[in-house]
Amino acid sequence: MTFTVLKSIKVLNPKTYFNDISDVVICNDKIFSICKDFKTEVSHQDGQINIYDCNGLTMSPGLIDMRVNIGKTENLTAIQKIAAENGITSMVILPNQTPKLNNPSIIDHIKRQSETPNLTKVNIYGAATKDDHGLEMSEIGLMSEMGAIGFTNGNKSIKNSLVMRRLMSYAAMINRPIIQHAEDEDLSGLNKASTTLINGEMNEGEISTRLGLIGIPSCAEVIIVERDIRLAKLTGASYHVAHISTRDSINVIREAKKIGLKVTCDTAPPYFALNETSLLSYNTAFKLSPPLRKEDDRLAVIEGIQDGTIDAIASDHRARSKDTKAQPFSAASVGASGIETLFLMTLELVHKKIIDLNKAISLLTINPANVLKMEKPSLEKDGLADFIIFDENCHDVINQNNLKTSPTPFDQRKIKGKILGTFINGQLAHINQMLKNRIIK
């Protein structure tokens, strides 16, 4: 047998509220022990022992990224590798891929394709509707049997109220959540209104007027949220709002939670770290969906994270080619990379004393698991060895040229924190040179 010992590492386990410096021993795919002195645990064991001096480092359960666009299914393995390098041990991919994930056979195929022991684990959202118009329901029961853990139209809103009611009713019966990209597409200019096609480009307001860009009113988000909450109350469904970005939407969800509805939401780093003034440069890395909002909305997102209205933080990863971003703002594609900055930007909330480290890790681990009815990740004796090792105080700068996906809205941002190692099923999926230098035996 081979034992891996992480000596004097801070163990952070939000599930059990454990937070202490310990020696952690890994054997095969399990955590063999968490103790004060590893020698008492392995002295009578036969096999090789690899010891890392982890003084000053922290370990936590591996991250769950609950919102990843991979573009094409052929990109899956490459994205899994990048995710592992950035501490993500489990991710959920959206159905807006090529091909679209809207039937049981493709769900089953992707699940089988992704099952590599030392790569990030892949979960799948099934497409809520078969067609882009959102009118024909997919076979959500059969997709659920093949492993789909929730249903969404990904980057598109489920806009038809009757279809949404039916989806919620069926999803409630099979105990799966409906995930919504909340956007009234008529207000946002994504549908043809009379004879004029107006494509919204950024948040509507003084900044959009000054820049001469077509605005998307912030109420386009809350209109859909309010409708859907009424339908969730009617059907008893679990309803989740993705990448929430406005104060009004957060307030509505806060009230829905108070009356006991099964309503949850997540946000993404751009919505708590940036606001619409970033677009004054016309940099297309800031062209996102939802668009960056006003400062008051950004502050509301932070408040929602602090008081628990916002359940989780997701990367909202949607990497784009340089060609589609190197266009005039109106013609440029929407979206940005997120998996390489998810952990770093969430850690920024800790360093700014907005939340503590335990809550930050919870937002990236057990909270997404709760929303999606997955097994809660944990660090316990005999538990599966899916975890990350990081230095929470390592100073660095996010550099677009050093990232494997692009673009990032956080280029040249000063940060503190670094993923040094990722273990999946007890195997090293990623190790940084800084951790390699700490091997003492």
Identify the CATH number of the domain in which residue 32 sits: 2.30.40.10
pLDDT in tens, 298-346: 999 999 999 999 999 999 999 999 899 999 999 999 999 999 999 999 9
What's the CATH code of the domain at 91? 3.20.20.140
pLDDT in tens, 2-56: 889 999 999 999 999 999 999 999 999 999 999 999 888 877 777 788 999 999 9
| Structural domain range at position 406 | 2-59+382-436
Looking at the domain assignment, is residue 132 inside a domain? yes
Looking at the domain assignment, is residue 376 inside a domain? no
Helix/strand/coil percentages in the chain, nearest 5: 35, 25, 40
- Exposure of 247 by Cβ count < 10 A (0-12 exposed, 13-18 middle, 19+ buried)? buried
**For residues 440 and 391, what is the distance between their CA atoms, to the nearest angstrom?**
18
Of 350, 371, 392, the residue that ends a domain is 371
pLDDT at 192: 55
**For residues 320 and 309, what is the distance between their CA atoms, to the nearest angstrom?**
31
pLDDT in tens, 381-425: 999 999 999 999 999 999 999 999 999 999 999 999 999 999 999
Q: pLDDT tier at 73 (50, 70, 90 boundaries)?
A: confident
Shared domain check, 117 and 54? no
Quick one: residue 122, left, alpha or beta (phi over 0 = left, psi -120 to 50 = alpha)? Answer: beta
Q: pLDDT tier at 191 (50, 70, 90 boundaries)?
A: low
**For residues 384 and 90, what is the distance between their CA atoms, to the nearest angstrom?**
13
Shared domain check, 317 and 365? yes
Distance of CA 174 to the CA centre of its chain: 24
Looking at the domain assignment, is residue 441 inside a domain? no
Of 315, 347, 371, the residue that ends a domain is 371
Shared domain check, 298 and 417? no
Of 343, 371, 399, the residue that ends a domain is 371
User: If you average pLDDT over residues 174-188, what whole number do you get?
Assistant: 95
**For residues 228 and 159, what is the distance between their CA atoms, to the nearest angstrom?**
10
Shared domain check, 152 and 22? no
Q: pLDDT tier at 360 (50, 70, 90 boundaries)?
A: very high
**For residues 110 and 113, what is the distance between their CA atoms, to the nearest angstrom?**
5
**For residues 311 and 238, what is the distance between their CA atoms, to the nearest angstrom?**
13
- CA–CA–CA angle 175, 177, 181 (5° rounding): 165
Shared domain check, 137 and 36? no
Looking at the domain assignment, is residue 242 inside a domain? yes
Q: Which residues are the active-site residues?
A: 316
H-assigned helices in 308-356: 322-325, 342-351
Shared domain check, 200 and 147? yes
- Exposure of 112 by Cβ count < 10 A (0-12 exposed, 13-18 middle, 19+ buried)? exposed
Q: Which long-range contacts (CB under 8 A, 24 or more apart) does 395-404 make?
A: 396/344, 398/341, 398/344, 403/337, 403/340, 404/82, 404/340
Domain count, the chain: 2
pLDDT at 39: 83
Q: pTM of the full predicted structure? A: 0.96
Shared domain check, 193 and 231? yes
Query: Tokens 């077509």 identify what position?
Result: 214
pLDDT at 212: 96
